[in-house]
Amino acid sequence: MSYKAIKIEELKLKCKAPLEGMYKLSPLVWEENGIYQMLVRAVNTSEDPTQKVARVYSGTSKNGLSFKMSDGPVIAPGTTSLDKDGCEDPTVVCVPKGYLVYYTGWNQTKMEGQLLLAKGKTLETLRLDSVAISSKKPYLNPKEASVTQLKNGKWNLLFEYADQHRSKLGRATSKKAEGPWKIKGEFLEAVDGNWDSYHLSPGPVLADANGQTVMFYNGSDDKARWRIGWVKLGDNGKITERSKDPLITPPKSKPGETDIAFAASAVLVGKQIWLYYTTADKSIFRAIIALT
């Protein structure tokens, strides 16, 4: 069995200023009590990188395509050095007491990111709790967390980190969804001469309609041309099969745009998978993925 994108649609976000005029990316979507919830990274459109301060907004939808967004951010830069210059790429774990949200806190002065954990009974009451994975060699600037529970009960956290001028894909485990996390090393390696020959980053992990666990991951060549592929995972979380070609390639980029398709989340709906992703670091889409 393999996977094929049979339909691609751009998300519609109903929002007010200032979100209306921002870039929206990294759409984290999940279903809860018949409603589709979303967290999205929003970045103001400045030419000055120091002014591009990310924050996280929430939204709700009945159809998973058109979302009504919050008036203000649910996660915003704080007063500590951990996330004073940006909050990026949220990942949600629903727990009995509310929500765990893993996100990247950015410090522009140090040019450093840390993988942080926020907790809250509601999305509107999220507060920074702790550093989940700190930026230390060889796992510098950890980000893009993908958190799932294995069939043996342990929790698995896949994350992107910087090492030897590359983005690599690492793995950490814990007995609890909130950690503490123990890093196990590199999880998925680049393939020489292939579309994913240089940079790698995790995407969403879920079980498809046949019960097969799959991760949609992000990979690029040495020109930072990012595409989306997939790997199948066994019960122990180890890789059993990998796509040879990209599942999703972005449309041809315009001058000045990045050549990127980057998966953020996925939801199983019937026998299909709704895969949410970003192109050109500013536009967000839903791909309907069918098993073939």
Find out whether 54 and 106 touch, Cβ atoms under 8 Å. yes
Q: What is the pLDDT of residue 183?
A: 98
pLDDT, residue 86, reads 96
Q: What pLDDT is attached to residue 261?
A: 97
Angle at 167 between CA 162 and CA 168, to 5 degrees: 90
The enclosing domain of 173 has a CATH number of: 2.115.10.20
Domain count for the chain, please give it: 1
C-alpha–C-alpha distance, residues 115 and 263, integer Å: 18
Give the pLDDT score at 45. Answer: 86
pLDDT at residue 48, as a whole number = 77
pTM score, two decimals?
0.96
Please identify every stretch of the chain with a pLDDT value under 70, giving residue numbers as ranges: none
Omega of the bond leading into 73 within 30 degrees of 0 (cis): no
Which residue range forms the structural domain that includes residue 167?
Answer: 3-291
Enumerate residues 6+ apart whose C-beta is below 8 A from 24.
Answer: 13, 40, 41, 42, 282, 283, 284
Residue 48: which residues within 8 A CB-CB, separation 6 or more?
none
Under 8 Å CB-to-CB from 195, ≥6 apart: which residues? 219, 220, 221, 225, 227, 229, 245, 246
Calpha distance 10→66 (Å, rounded): 9
Confidence at residue 50, expressed as pLDDT on a 0 to 100 scale: 72
Q: What does the DSSP 8-state code read for residue 82?
A: S
